[in-house]
Amino acid sequence: PVTFHEFALLFRDRLHCPDALFLDGGSASGLYAPSLSRHDRFIPAMGPILGVVEKANR
């Protein structure tokens, strides 16, 4: 098991991510994207972690 504090330290100290959200998998973390015809209200089809990355300049 991991505590919320340990989880937060992972994001801050090791992943260098100053902002993170913990989505518990309930209806609040469902996906609403009309352009994708997605409205996952009350459907547990989405996992509890969502990552957003910036494309590297090459």
| Confidence band for 50, pLDDT divided at 50, 70 and 90 | low
The rounded distance, in Å, linking the Cα atoms of 11 and 14 is 6
pTM of the predicted structure, to 2 decimals: 0.44
Using left for φ > 0, alpha for ψ between -120 and 50, and beta otherwise, residue 33 falls in beta
The rounded distance, in Å, linking the Cα atoms of 16 and 2 is 19
Between 56 and 31, the more confident residue is: 56
Average pLDDT on 39-58 reads: 71
pLDDT at 48: 63
pLDDT in tens, 1-46: 889 899 889 989 999 988 887 766 665 666 788 998 888 776 665 5
The rounded distance, in Å, linking the Cα atoms of 16 and 28 is 26
